[in-house]
């Protein structure tokens, strides 16, 4: 089937008062075995800002796909005469969807997502097995300078300390001399990101960094200085600041489950009190 520009314009623009009345105010474009595709359906799915040529192609494909689906559905329905099981599944899905929608409305209206800090920290501390690291993390500082840079002796002294004075010296020095400077004393970063900065040839670089928290390396062009102020190995407890979002999600989910259990219990008890539930055994 090909749709000409004239035909598409006619389909989208021509409106029959009789058709509107017969089809609830909608204008039919295509009919397949008593099923109608309406002008309004096509207009609703046309992409905004689409060109005239593209709109013709889009309409052609959409109408063809719709007709094919209608024909396939009719063929399938005629070959599956017993729809009892399908009707049961549809009804179960409808019930589940209605209950889920109602529960989400209740939770949104009645349950706050604000959780006290003490409750968050208590959950984190009491459920440490839930927050294990999948890979090592470190805090620290890294600086890379050319081998010809001045004051290397001072850099050796400054990088080993996380004191504010030493860091200030390094920051000022790095503006003029460093090829790369990374300050991460205040945040956890994956050790893999740090190892990518170093020309390290150790067989187990993660263990080496954990054992040697102050590392100086050198190649033909650069010095590399790394100070690791803190290290968390794989399998250790995830730092609280990183686990916080998961802690909050878990507590919110638990509160929602408890809330809905109480809602169901209250509904059940009221039904018992009003004798709406009758047991025949």
pLDDT tens digits, one per residue of 160-184:
999 999 999 999 999 999 999 999 9
What does the pLDDT read at residue 279? 87
Is residue 15 pLDDT above 90, yes or no?
A: no
What does the pLDDT read at residue 22? 64
What does the pLDDT read at residue 21? 47
If we measure between CA atoms, which residue out of 224, 62, 79, 218 comes closest to residue 140? 224
Please state the rounded mean pLDDT for residues 126-136. 95
What does the pLDDT read at residue 280? 84
pLDDT above 70 covers what percent of the chain? 92
62 versus 281: which is more confidently predicted? 62
Is residue 220 pLDDT above 90, yes or no?
A: yes
What does the pLDDT read at residue 281? 81
Calpha distance 91→198 (Å, rounded): 61
Least trusted range by pLDDT, from 103-112, 140-149, 219-228: 103-112
What does the pLDDT read at residue 106? 94
| pLDDT tier at 104, thresholds 50, 70, 90 | very high
Is residue 144 pLDDT above 80, yes or no?
A: yes
Is residue 11 pLDDT above 60, yes or no?
A: no
pLDDT tens digits, one per residue of 231-261:
999 999 999 999 999 999 999 999 999 999 9
* DSSP string covering the chain: ----HHHHHHHHH---HHHHHHTTT--EEEEETTEEEEHHHHHHHSPTT--HHHHHHHHHHHHHHHHHHHHHHHHHHHH----HHHHHHHHHHHHHHHHHHHHHHHHHHH------HHHHHHHHHHTGGG-B-SS-EEEEEEEEEETT-S-HHHHHHHTT--SHHHHHHHHHHHHHH-SEEEEEEEEEEEHHHHHTTS----SSHHHHHHH-SEEEEE-SSEEEEEEEEEEE-TTSBPPHHHHHHHHHHHHHHHHHHHHHHHHHHHHHHHHHHTT------
State how far Cα 264 lies from the chain centre: 30
Q: In what order do the strands lie in the sheet with 222-232?
A: 180-190, 137-146, 222-232, 214-218
Please state the rounded mean pLDDT for residues 203-226. 95
| pLDDT tier at 196, thresholds 50, 70, 90 | very high
What does the pLDDT read at residue 136? 96
């Amino acid at each position: 089937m090909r749709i000409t520009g004239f035909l598409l314009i006619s389909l989208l623009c021509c409106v029959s008062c009789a058709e509107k009345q017969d089809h609830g105010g909608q204008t039919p474009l295509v009919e397949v075995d008593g099923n109608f595709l309406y002008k309004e359906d096509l207009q609703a799915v046309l992409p905004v800002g689409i060109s005239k040529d593209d709109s013709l192609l889009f309409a052609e494909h959409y109408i063809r796909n719709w007709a094919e689906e209608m024909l396939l559905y009719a063929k399938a329905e005629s070959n599956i005469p017993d729809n009892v099981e399908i009707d049961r599944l549809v009804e179960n899905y409808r019930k589940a969807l209605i209950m889920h929608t109602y529960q989400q409305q209740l939770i949104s209206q009645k349950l706050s997502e604000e959780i006290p800090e003490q409750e968050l920290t208590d959950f984190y501390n009491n459920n440490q097995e839930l927050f294990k690291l999948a890979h090592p993390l470190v805090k620290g500082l890294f600086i890379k300078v050319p081998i010809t840079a001045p004051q290397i002796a001072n850099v050796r002294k400054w990088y080993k300390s996380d004191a504010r004075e030493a860091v200030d010296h390094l920051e000022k020095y790095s503006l003029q001399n460093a090829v790369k400077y990374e300050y991460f004393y205040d945040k956890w970063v994956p050790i893999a990101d740090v190892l990518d900065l170093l020309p390290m040839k150790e067989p187990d670089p993660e263990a080496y960094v954990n054992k040697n928290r102050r590392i100086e390396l050198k190649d033909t062009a650069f010095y590399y200085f790394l100070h690791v102020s803190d290290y968390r190995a794989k399998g250790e407890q995830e730092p609280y600041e990183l686990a916080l979002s998961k802690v909050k999600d878990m507590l919110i989910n638990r509160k929602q489950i408890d809330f809905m259990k109480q809602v169901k219990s209250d509904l059940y008890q009221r039904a018992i009190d009003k004798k709406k539930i009758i047991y025949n055994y």
